Chains A and B, each alone.
With several copies, the nearest count.
Chain A
Amino acid sequence: MLPFEVSKNPGETKLTIRGSLDINTAPALAEEIDKILATKPAKVEVDLGPLDLIDSSGVAALVKLYKGVRGGGGNVRISGARDQPLAIFKLLRMDKVFNL
């Protein structure tokens, strides 16, 4: 099973990430992100509620998604971060940019 799920509705792509987003699992997400970016989405919702752990490779994948969508004129909404992932975003001061 993949550590993420993508669902596409008209005008919105939803990405749910679960478990551990790390150096071993981030490469598969990065491929999915490339596919998402290729669709030039207007709005991407990222649900981090089921995410338990993240490392810098996982953060890099999310940053790539964020920059890619914004660079194409779209919007990203990240929600649900808790525990260790939230601590990491705060440490990196990304909580403000990501609006967590």
Chain B
Amino acid sequence: MTASIRLTVPGTLRYRGIAVRVVAEAARLVSGSSMNDPDDPFANDVRHPFDTAVVSAFMEIFNNIAIHAYKRKGGGAIDIVMTPSERDLVIEVRDHGQAFDIDEVAPLPPDLDEHSLPEGGMGIHIAKTMLDDLTYQPGPPNLWRLCKRLATGPHADVGRS
């Protein structure tokens, strides 16, 4: 089961839905949440904690590439390679947009109250916290590597915050 699935789409938000669906399916191949729900061949809820973590992180990475790397103008592709194994899912995402320095991204304030609720700057934090490992290597192509391991204990696969 270490064969890869590869999806390449234009780097705009129009193709976000397709990419998110494929990633959700790839997550399901690992988590075992049924791929062919007989009740609805296209049912696609994200319920399993593993699927939740993978899809949540991937949505942020995709948004950021379309918005920040490609500046909402497209002009390049987003290339996604998903490698499901029995224990984990590794997703590599490549783009040819503008690179950035991920270490300069400010962390979220540690204690939130009503007044400090953030209205932005949550994407990288969500992706990092949902995954076991997230790395970014500026390119070209810029390369994101997302890794999520299937937890064996209960309640162990969503977030580590």
Contact = CB atoms under 8 A, between A and B. Distances in A.
Given A23-B13, A23-B63, A63-B117, A91 B46 contact: no
A19 B66 CA distance: 22
Contacts of B56: 55, 84, 87-88, 91
Given A24-B16, A70-B114, A97-B112, A92 B126 contact: yes
B20 to A, nearest CB: 8
A1 B123 contact: no
Q: Which of A1, A56, A60 has the most CB of B within 10 A?
A: A56
Interface in A23-62: 23-25, 50, 52-53, 55-57, 59-60
Interface of B: 13, 16-17, 36-42, 45-47, 49, 52-53, 55-56, 59-60, 63, 66-67, 108, 111-115, 117-120, 122-123, 125-126, 129-130, 158-159, 161
A56 B63 contact: yes
B1 to A, nearest CB: 16
Chain A contact residues (Cβ within 8 angstroms of B): what range?
35 or more
Secondary structure class of chain B's binding surface, majority of residues: loop
A11 to B, nearest CB: 22
Interface of A: 1-4, 18-20, 22-25, 50, 52-53, 55-57, 59-60, 63-64, 66-67, 70, 83-84, 87-88, 90-94, 96-97
B154 to A, nearest CB: 15
A52 B13 contact: no
B161 A22 contact: no
Contacts of B67: 23
